[in-house]
């Protein structure tokens, strides 16, 4: 559910407001009592650490990105292995595997790194499809981390390179037609570019005898924000000096803005099934879910600040109208500018669920499936990344890529502007945080200095989580984005090795931003991450045993024990 990619584009536009820093503007708003719309940074440490004193007139420094033999070697490695890199992207795109079930996709990415000299271990944090790949050369060098993802999204199947909606997998169900999964967020490209960058840095360091440890984290279930948040709480990312992240986007940009914290929660209503033709006394769990959805919408006017987001889907609402649904589930993503603000809004959503259960005479329970912090920015890291992006230049989009982009824009009713073919200027974040997407990289950012960058994979004006992105992800636009992103990441990482003063400045800023703040996972006590049992062939190939020690298997069954509703005493017969 990482939807920071669109945010990078917004950060690239300089605000027209006077040169007030974001921190100062938020202080002024807080002093004026506008705390329901924007909380004063002084009242919320997580938001204070994310705020910034940079004026709107900011000009990014130049000359940070250095020239070195190791960087040249790394970039040359990417260029000479371009077919192999774009081939991996295409392979993962074809698999289009959903969160927690990326059996083939994780193997493909791990094999790529193993061939590049990395040691690979599956089962990171107990997740079957998560892995850690490690390359070490020499002693005493920095430990650099790269983020890899490879999960697809449901319902976004699309033929590659086609400019109109044309699902590759169509579900022919007479009662519930639909589409198969697809890479509508571009994670096939995300993991591929990060793996290529990690491999390139390893080759450059080895060739020029630079001490370094390169760690690549193959992360499962980013779309559900599950993989990294739990892994961070298990110490998986401990010991890193810096972490490099990117995401497919509609623009080529980096910045040091923050993101929304988020809690994902599923509510299960339990009622009593019965014949739809004799409904008296039945208890519809679906009625409860619909009531909850309706009532939660009333939170928007008086309880949802501009920085907040609240969205839901009924993921289990029954199968046929003639059977009153005995079980129904509705899932929410509750987002706000900090974990503390998320909790306030979450408590209100939970209260709505209890009211819906009482009104429908059902029972309700809820479980938190994931929860993450807002991202901690790194200005110094973003400046170094930007200087490398500026020197390398935008992705090399072919005429074919631009034509596909314009066809998609035409199909979606958007201006035909094609792909973003420049590197957007680095600008200060907007003075007032107005909310946005969330990422499980955020929890990493509070534990190790982290930079995030976006490279254009989808056409200007479109959005992630769409079939149009799936059309581009392994076609000409996506293949160009993969190679560009790999270069941006690799070049920046090499600078951290060859210019220790850059890494020190980044770590000093991190220490200053986190002063007095202790990160603690917002996952609940006793949390067990959701998992699917892997196929036997996958366990054998990756050397794992099932189940992992950190979950209860099989999971506890959810079974309704509710009773029929009473209508009161029998009516006396009429005479």
- Of 33-42, 77-86, 111-120, 143-152, minimum mean pLDDT range: 33-42
Phi, psi for residue 387 in degrees, rounded to 5: -65, -35
CATH classification number, 5-19+55-257+374-513, choose in 3.40.630.10, 3.40.50.150, 3.30.365.10, 3.40.50.300: 3.40.630.10
CB 297 within 8 Å of CB 272: no
Average pLDDT over residues 532-546: 98
Tell whether the model's pLDDT for residue 23 goes beyond 50. no
- Take residue 38 and report the two structure tokens written for it: 């924007």
CATH fold of 261-372 reads Alpha-Beta Plaits (3.30.70)
Average pLDDT over residues 164-172: 97
Average pLDDT over residues 376-382: 97
- Take residue 408 and report the two structure tokens written for it: 């998609």
Tell whether the model's pLDDT for residue 468 goes beyond 50. yes
With 0-12 / 13-18 / 19 or more C-beta atoms within 10 angstroms meaning exposed / middle / buried, residue 336 is: buried
* Domain ranges, ordered by start, for the chain: 5-19+55-257+374-513, 261-372
With 0-12 / 13-18 / 19 or more C-beta atoms within 10 angstroms meaning exposed / middle / buried, residue 411 is: middle
Tell whether the model's pLDDT for residue 426 goes beyond 90. yes
Residues 348 and 211: their CA atoms lie apart, in Å, by: 52
pLDDT-based confidence at residue 43 (cuts at 50, 70, 90): low
Task: Check residue 32 and give its pLDDT.
Answer: 34
User: Under DSSP, is residue 290 helix (H, G, I), strand (E, B) or coil?
Assistant: helix
Quick count: other Cβ atoms within 10 Å of Cβ 390?
19
Average pLDDT over residues 491-510: 98
What are the CA-CA distances from residue 560 to residues 178, 277, 352, 363 (Å)? 29, 21, 21, 9
Average pLDDT over residues 87-111: 98
Tell whether the model's pLDDT for residue 2 goes beyond 80. no
The structure's pTM equals 0.92
% of the chain residues with pLDDT over 90: 88
pLDDT tens-place string over residues 437-465: 999 999 999 999 999 999 999 999 999 99
- Take residue 354 and report the two structure tokens written for it: 């209890």
Question: Parallel, antiparallel, or unpaired: how do β-strands 253-254 and 170-171 relate?
Answer: unpaired
Residues 56 and 430: their CA atoms lie apart, in Å, by: 8
Tell whether the model's pLDDT for residue 54 goes beyond 90. no
CB 126 within 8 Å of CB 220: no
Q: For residue 125, what is the DSSP state?
A: G
Q: Mean pLDDT, the chain, as a whole number? A: 93
Q: If we measure between CA atoms, which residue out of 258, 147, 221, 274 comes closest to residue 530?
A: 221
pLDDT-based confidence at residue 28 (cuts at 50, 70, 90): very low
261-372: same fold as 5-19+55-257+374-513? Answer: no
Residue of 135 and 24 predicted with greater confidence: 135
Task: Check residue 56 and give its pLDDT.
Answer: 79
With 0-12 / 13-18 / 19 or more C-beta atoms within 10 angstroms meaning exposed / middle / buried, residue 381 is: buried
pLDDT-based confidence at residue 51 (cuts at 50, 70, 90): confident
With 0-12 / 13-18 / 19 or more C-beta atoms within 10 angstroms meaning exposed / middle / buried, residue 409 is: buried
Phi, psi for residue 71 in degrees, rounded to 5: -65, -45
Task: Check residue 42 and give its pLDDT.
Answer: 53
Q: How far is CA 34 from the centre of its chain?
A: 30
Task: Check residue 44 and give its pLDDT.
Answer: 87
What are the CA-CA distances from residue 362 to residues 91, 284, 317, 399 (Å)? 47, 8, 14, 58
């Amino acid at each position: 559910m990482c939807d920071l990619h669109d945010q990078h584009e917004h950060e690239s536009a300089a605000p027209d407001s006077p040169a007030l820093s974001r921190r100062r503007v938020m202080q002024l708003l807080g002093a004026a009592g506008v705390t329901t719309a924007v909380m004063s940074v002084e009242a919320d440490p997580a938001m204070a650490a994310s705020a910034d004193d940079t004026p709107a007139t900011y000009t990014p420094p130049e000359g940070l990105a250095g020239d070195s033999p190791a960087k040249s070697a790394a970039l040359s490695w990417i260029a000479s292995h371009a077919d192999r890199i774009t081939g991996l992207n295409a392979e993962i795109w074809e698999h289009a595997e959903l969160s927690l079930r990326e059996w083939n996709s994780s193997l493909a990415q791990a094999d790529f790194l193993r061939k590049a000299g990395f040691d690979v271990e599956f089962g990171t944090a107990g997740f079957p499809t998560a892995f850690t790949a490690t390359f070490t050369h020499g002693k005493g060098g920095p430990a650099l981390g790269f983020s890899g993802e490879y999960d697809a999204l449901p319902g976004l199947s699309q033929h590659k390179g086609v400019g109109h909606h044309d699902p590759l997998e169509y579900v022919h169900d007479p009662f519930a037609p639909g589409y198969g999964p697809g890479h509508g967020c571009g994670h096939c490209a995300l993991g591929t570019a990060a793996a290529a960058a990690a491999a390139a840095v390893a080759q450059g360091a080895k060739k020029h005898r630079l001490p370094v440890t390169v760690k690549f984290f193959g992360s499962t279930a980013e779309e559900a924000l599950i993989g990294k948040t739990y892994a961070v709480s298990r110490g998986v990312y401990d010991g890193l000096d810096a972490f490099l992240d990117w995401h497919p986007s509609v623009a080529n940009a980096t910045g040091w803005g923050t993101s929304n914290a988020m809690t994902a929660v599923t509510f299960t209503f339990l009622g009593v099934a019965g014949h739809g033709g004799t409904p008296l006394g039945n208890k519809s769990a679906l009625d409860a879910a619909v009531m909850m959805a309706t009532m939660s919408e009333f939170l928007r006017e008086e309880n949802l600040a501009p920085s907040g987001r609240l969205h839901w889907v009924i993921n289990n609402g029954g199968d046929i109208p003639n059977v009153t649904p005995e079980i129904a589930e509705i899932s929410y993503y509750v987002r706000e500018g900090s974990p503390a603000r998320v909790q306030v809004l979450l408590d209100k959503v939970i209260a709505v669920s209890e009211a819906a259960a009482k009104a429908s005479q059902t029972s309700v329970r809820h479980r938190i499936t994931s929860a993450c912090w807002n991202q901690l920015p790194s200005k110094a890291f973003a400046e170094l990344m930007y200087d490398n992006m500026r020197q390398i230049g935008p992705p090399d989009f072919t005429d074919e890529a631009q034509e596909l982009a314009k066809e998609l824009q035409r199909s979606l009713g958007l201006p035909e502007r094609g792909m973003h073919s420049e590197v957007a200027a680095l600008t200060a974040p907007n003075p007032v945080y107005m909310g946005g997407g969330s990422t499980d990289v955020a929890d990493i950012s509070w534990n190790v200095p982290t930079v995030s960058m976006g490279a254009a994979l989808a056409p200007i004006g479109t959005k992630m989580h769409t079939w149009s992105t799936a059309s581009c992800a392994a076609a000409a636009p996506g293949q160009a984005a993969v190679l560009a992103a790999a270069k941006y990441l690799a070049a920046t990482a090499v600078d951290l090795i060859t210019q220790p003063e850059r890494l020190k400045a980044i770590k000093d800023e991190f220490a200053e931003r986190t002063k007095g703040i202790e990160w603690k996972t917002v996952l609940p006590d006793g949390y067990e991450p959701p998992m699917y049992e892997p196929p036997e062939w996958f366990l054998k190939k990756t050397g794992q045993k099932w189940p992992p020690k950190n979950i209860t298997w099989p999971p506890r069954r959810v079974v309704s024990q509710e009773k029929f509703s009473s209508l009161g005493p029998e009516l006396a017969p009429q005479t």
